[in-house]
Chain A
Amino acid sequence: MPQNSQEILLMLPHVVIGVGIVISLLIEMYSKKSETILPWISLFVFVFAGVHSIINISANQILFGGMLEVGGKPAIFNFIFNIGAALLILNSIDYIKKYESNHGEYYILIQSAILGMMVMAGSKDIFMIFIGLELMSIAFYVLAGINKKKSSSNEAALKYFLLGAFATGFIVYGIALIYGVSSTTSVDSIIQNFSTFTQNILFIVGLLLFIIGFSFKIAAFPFHMWVPDVYQGSATTVTGLMSTTGKTAAFSVLLIILSASLINYNIDIFAPYFAVIATLSMLYGSIVAIAQKNLKRMLAYSSISHAGYMAIGLAAANSEAFSGIIFYLAAYTFMNIGAFGIISIIEKQNDANTDLTAYAGLASKSPILAAFMSLFMFALAGIPPLAGFFGKYYVFISAIEADLTWLAVVGVFSSVISVYFYLRLVVYMYFKESEKDIDLHIDKYSLLSVVVSGILVIYFGISPDSLLNLILSVVN
């Protein structure tokens, strides 16, 4: 028993969020002021969990008989999830009030989703992965439809749920086959005996289904179908969470496949799969984004192409790719959260208008927002020396080292296309005049969230070493 209580202390971030969920539920049930209390509780648990994880990054341990890993790699992921979520909570305070969906469940569901992600990132057992995944996904299905009065929000939730059910089905089937062959659910022992198991066709099919299921969650072509509709229909803050932390969580699982190939050098049966997925996602995302008139939809396609860039790393399957993907995810999370934060601010003032035209002349109305939005767009486009550039740089270099130069070339080509649509927003903000005269009110919490994201994007760009060294220290 003392052993166990120690273990519980080690997973304090999980516990704090779990307790947070229960307390939030109680407050929501019995307090009339829950709207004002809950954001702060969520903020506290996220900041605590994020900071606690990153401080204890070196305390790498595997708990509960090989179920959950804390410290090390999961700590970095926990940092991304929690700080990302904290920033979005700051954005939500005003946003949720405005859309009258100011229910406690919003904050409770976000906490549950984040807990699910943390379980996914730390899991050492395939069933833990599944539990984490479902905790996250089900919370997201509900969150997508949180804006009950908007039909597009309902549509988004239903589509997300139905397509997500397919993904879940594939994953469960895959897990069944994997277990059938390996007769273990421990991730570590599966990785260790990877080369033996891959002799069996059923293991390969099982793994394939498992990977396909997660390809949904990272929004890779052709499993991206839900992304544009769901991103556009959901509340902007929810979209921000789904597109960043949700994707990061799915990648944290896919990295397991990567580490399997790292330990068994010659096993790269899935490299062709990832290479094709990467190519298609990058090109599809970038090309189709050009035609979008709605900013949220444009960012949805951009998110597809970013999934493609990261999938390059999965195809390359070397240690550079491993740290590269983690860096990319961190960079991507903060630049996207910043961008969605600004969208949520503008949307509130402008009758829920998220079209590009709503941004015309923003530079003269709010130079700060326009400057930060340009910063995020430049970072997403991968312009140095911002965080997005180094993300792309690491995965491209991993591809070249893995003799997949052509994949890096496709990536470069798609980056050029993407410059066009990211820049189009900048053109709207700086070079066009607004059609409507609206009074822009920026609430202080949203602004704080945008500024913090912006600082992180610049900081990771100017000093990528700070983050990279941290990643390298846990990867090796």
Chain B
Amino acid sequence: MLFFVLLGFITAVLVPLIKKISDNFLSWIIPIIPASIFFYFASFYYQIADGEVIKVSYSWIPSLGINFDFYIDGLSLVFAMIISLVGTVVYLYAGSYLKGDTRLSKFYIYISIFMSSMIGVVTSDNLMTLFIFWELTSISSYLLIGFNHEKESSRYSALQALLVTGLGGLALLAGFILLYITTGTWDISEINKMPAEVIGSSYFFLIVIFILLGTFTKSAQFPFHFWLPNAMEAPTPVSAYLHSATMVKAGIYLMARLNPAFGNSILWNDLLLVFGTATMLFAAVLSFKQTDLKKLLAYSTLSVLGTLTMLIGIGSDLAIKAFIIYLIAHSLYKGTLFLVAGIIDHETGTRNIEKLSGLRKLMPITMIIAVAASLSKMGIIPLVGFVGKETVYASVLELPIFGNYLIVITILANMFVVYITAMVGFRPFFGKLKSTPKNPHEAPFRMWSGPMFLALSGLVLGIFSSLFLNKLINSSELGIISERLNIPVKLWHGFNLELLLSTITVLLGLFLYFKREYFLKFVASFSSVKFVQPSYYYQFIFDGTLSLAKYITSKIQNGYLRFYILVILLTTFSLIAYTLHTFYSFNEINIGGSVSVYEVILAFILIISTLLAVSAKSRLAAIVGLGGVGYVIALFFLIYSAPDLAMTQFSIETLTVILFVLVIYKLPKYLSFSSTTRRIRDIIVASFAGLTMFFLVLVISGTSLTSELKEYFIAESYPSGKGLNVVNVILVDFRALDTLGEITVLAVAAIGVYSLLKLRKKDN
């Protein structure tokens, strides 16, 4: 199992080696990889259809409970088979589509990584490994969307897709972690067994929001849908693979997978229903004014993704049945139509629907494929799309209260889908032949064979739906709801309401198609209001962040040391002031004790020196002021019986003043002072810092700090140091090393002064 899941990564490593033989060889041989993965998963079909579940586990990070646990049930199997089947077609197709392109091997590397990650997402039973594969799909899709990287728009779209899905991915991680904390396990199958714990959790609301952020961004649900049409910058095989059949369905997959745990909550169901329906309708309406083949398809994909989300939200047995059939049907016909769009683009050199017409004679095979896929998409009997649409309608109709409203919305949205299909599947082929940038020919074998196969599968699955799909849907463990479905799948249900609605939808869609000129004017006036477009907000936030970044850089990181110091002082002293304010009541301050005359005089000198240092107009005067401050402090030390400290302070102070004078003497005079406002700002900050320190010192003096040293020194001074003068003994005995250090510092400073003096002599 692990081998087949990781086969794509192995392939990615091997591609450069195979490429050395020849590009052509590579493109012929490589479709074997997805094909073998397809057959591997297909071999489980009967086991799964009989209701078995396959679990395989490989340990990875056991200490965190993160392991490669794989879990194959009906849901995973359907996805894995779609991924590998469409993968095979796309690999084959790309060999011809990118023929002669030097980047062919790069393409195969990226897409192999993508395919493996995607398989990993749908088979993982462990939330963490699922997340890791999930992120890898985002990264590889970034590389694939930006494949034509010389185009600015291509890079822009790739980045947009990555940022939107990346944001969602990380939200998903947050949701997963909360889910883990709630349930105590990473195993999805275990989590699905405890819906009561999940729904009852205090984190439940957050979990739902985070997980839905992840799935909605990935599956391009409203309001995050805007990245998908832009992602059409990617080469067509990529769009066919990522943006219709696989990656955009990862979110849908996850919602379906987690539905047993969340499905019983009103919050989950309502959010899915509301956003699914909104996406379905919104995308369908937006598609109307598109003229680009691929963008048309992108909007119709969006609409389908919305429908699928809505179906999970409904959550009834019938809805789940519709979900699976619709999913399969869509992957088959939408992949086909994308590939057809690629063929048309490749052959004619344009994707503009206005320029394409009458290709039926030049490209008959392509036309047959396109028509077959379109009919399936429109929901015409006997294709699988018909079965899908019938079931969707049936499940919506089944809803008790608002089913009637919802069916109108669904029909409306599907009407647009029919319109899109007509535009993509019919319009280019019928009517009069128009001239195009390139002279169109029939596509080469490799390009049409894959789509043809997919289109045929749609037909086969439709006609023989009771044969193939019935068993899988009926009796396998789908894992979306806890029970098995037991609803037979068949093509023909007789003349009923759903058939009538299907017919109405197709007729309405065709009406829209033929009368589009009239409706276009109406829609154009509606959607030109930019405020309703979420992409406008994306752009706003994107640009806003960039200019914010530039603004902050110029304001805060301006390179001025004085500003840096200002910020640091302000922060530090605010924090100290805050701490003092919160934890200390100032009644406790004890300003006792007598003040001697000396102290008053010294304090007076101190204040004057400080003012002198601050206000001096020359550097020399400022230094003198600072020196004064230093000496006064030394004198304070002396008064408070610390002669050693005082001595050190005196000598250091003297040396620093000399050093300063020697250095600063050479500097030019002050050229300009800062502006008055700046100085006022500085005064405020400085006073604040000074006052805070003042209070802190008051607090310190009011607290009795216990020191065992004092007693120790007094007691040991004579017995150990043989001296009666305690201070002397401390200096030369107890702290002899300290004193040595002080002397050394003095010596070093003196050497500095000496060398500066020597430099001056040389200068003269």
Contacts and interface: CB of A to CB of B under 8 A. Distances in A.
Given A205-B576, A427-B155, A419 B707 contact: no
Nearest to B693: A173
Given A288-B557, A465-B62, A400 B576 contact: no
A423 B162 contact: yes
Contacts of B600: none
Interface string A151-191: 00000000100110010001000000100110100000000
Interface string B121-163: 0000000000110011001001000100110000100010011
Contacts of A396: 173-174, 177
Nearest to B169: A416
B530 interface: no
Contacts of B580: 201, 205
Nearest to A159: B561
B21 interface: no
A181 B553 CA distance: 41
A258 to B, nearest CB: 19
A412 interface: yes
B61 interface: yes
Contacts of B549: 287-291
A154 B601 CA distance: 43
B529 interface: no
A223 interface: yes
A391 B589 CA distance: 47
A226 interface: yes
A431 B552 contact: no
Interface in A352-382: 378
A423 B159 contact: yes
B163 A419 contact: yes
Interface stretch (A91-99, A117-125, A238-246, A401-409): A401-409
B162 A225 contact: no
A180 B708 CA distance: 10
B207 to A, nearest CB: 11
B575 to A, nearest CB: 6
B579 A469 contact: no
Nearest to B136: A384
B579 A208 contact: yes
Interface stretch (B290-298, B405-413, B509-517, B563-571): B563-571
B571 A401 contact: no
Contacts of A468: 61, 63-64
Interface in B169-199: 170-171, 173-174, 177-178, 181
A293 B696 CA distance: 44
> Range of interface residues on chain B?
35 or more
A383 interface: yes
A67 interface: no
B159 A180 contact: no
A164 to B, nearest CB: 11
A64 B146 CA distance: 61
B745 interface: no
Interface stretch (B350-358, B486-494, B698-706): B698-706
Contacts of B155: 427, 431
B548 interface: yes
A181 B584 contact: no
A225 B139 contact: no
A94 to B, nearest CB: 29
A434 to B, nearest CB: 14
A255 B170 CA distance: 27
B306 interface: no
B678 interface: no
Contact of A287 (B60, B171, B548, B583): B548
A228 interface: yes
A209 B706 CA distance: 20
A284 B552 contact: yes
B437 interface: no
Interface in B197-218: 203, 206
B572 interface: yes
A290 B163 CA distance: 14
Contacts of B579: 201, 204-205, 208
Interface string A228-244: 11000000000000000
Interface in B373-430: none
A223 to B, nearest CB: 6
A385 B162 CA distance: 17
Nearest to A198: B583
A419 B181 contact: no
Contact of A419 (B166, B550, B708): B166
Given A288-B549, A290-B545, A415-B170, A202 B703 contact: yes
A384 B170 CA distance: 11
Nearest to A399: B177
Contacts of B584: 201
Contact of A385 (B132, B146, B181, B553): B132
Contacts of A159: 561, 564
B546 interface: yes
B571 A223 contact: yes
Of A205, A209, A228, A401, chain B has the most CB atoms within 10 Å of the CB of A205
Contacts of A431: 146, 149-150, 155
A18 interface: no
Contacts of A292: 553
A163 B560 CA distance: 12
Contacts of B136: 384
Interface in B699-743: 699-700, 703, 705-708
Of B63, B131, B568, B579, chain A has the most CB atoms within 10 Å of the CB of B568
Contacts of A289: 549
A201 B62 CA distance: 45
A442 interface: no
B545 A417 contact: yes
B181 A291 contact: no
A397 B177 contact: yes
Contact of B159 (A409, A417, A420): A420
B564 A472 contact: no
B167 interface: yes
A104 to B, nearest CB: 21
Given A202-B700, A419-B162, A400 B177 contact: yes
A384 B162 contact: no
Contact of A205 (B142, B173, B559, B696): B696
A18 B199 CA distance: 60
Contact of B708 (A183, A383, A389, A415): A183
B656 to A, nearest CB: 14
Nearest to A432: B149
Of A384, A389, A463, chain B has the most CB atoms within 10 Å of the CB of A384
Contacts of B696: 205
Contacts of A290: 545-546, 549
A400 B181 contact: yes
B135 A163 contact: no
Contacts of A405: 174, 178, 203, 206
11 contacts: A183-B705, A200-B703, A201-B579, A205-B699, A287-B548, A287-B549, A291-B549, A384-B131, A384-B135, A400-B174, A423-B162
Ranked 3 nearest A-B pairs via Cβ:
A291-B549, A431-B149, A225-B564
Interface of B: 60-64, 131-132, 135-136, 139, 142, 146, 149-150, 155, 159, 162-163, 166-167, 170-171, 173-174, 177-178, 181, 203, 206, 545-546, 548-550, 552-553, 557, 559, 561, 564-565, 567-568, 571-572, 575-576, 579-580, 583-584, 696, 699-700, 703, 705-708
Given A289-B549, A400-B178, 10 more contacts: A163-B564, A166-B568, A209-B572, A288-B553, A290-B549, A419-B166, A420-B159, A430-B149, A431-B150, A472-B63
